[in-house]
Amino acid sequence: MAFLTDRKRADRWGSAKSGTEHFWRMKVQSVGLLFLIPLFVFTFGPILGGTYEEVTAYFARPFPAIVAGLTILVSCIHFKDGFTTLIEDYVHGVWEKILILGMTCLMYALAATGLFAVARLAL
């Protein structure tokens, strides 16, 4: 074993196919959420507790609707990517595929439901 090259020792330990891309994607999503979450809190906070008519009138304006939609979409995709990484690291076998597929479907369904709700309020 002492005479093996570094490449031969690393053989079958996986490769860096999409790790860098995933890393940068998570960082960009994190920075996006760093700006979107406070914007969402400050735009959604004043209307919290209002009547249905007040809320629909508020979300009929483009800025609050766009901020809410972007926050929902980026949050769900970021959570899906983070959960996928967690499952890939700690769960193996059939359960890995089941959990990743289930969480992916759940997050896209949640994002679609949230965007539909915002669009319904805005239009």
Structure confidence by residue, pLDDT tens digits, 43-96: 999 899 999 999 999 999 999 999 999 999 999 999 999 999 999 999 999 999
Q: How far apart are CA 18 and CA 96, in angstroms?
A: 18
Mean pLDDT of all residues in 85-108: 95
Mean pLDDT of all residues in 25-41: 96
CA dihedral 26, 28, 30, 32 (to 10 degrees): -150
The answer on pLDDT for 14 being more than 90 is: no
**Which residue segments constitute the domains of the chain, with CATH numbers given?**
27-122 (1.20.1300)
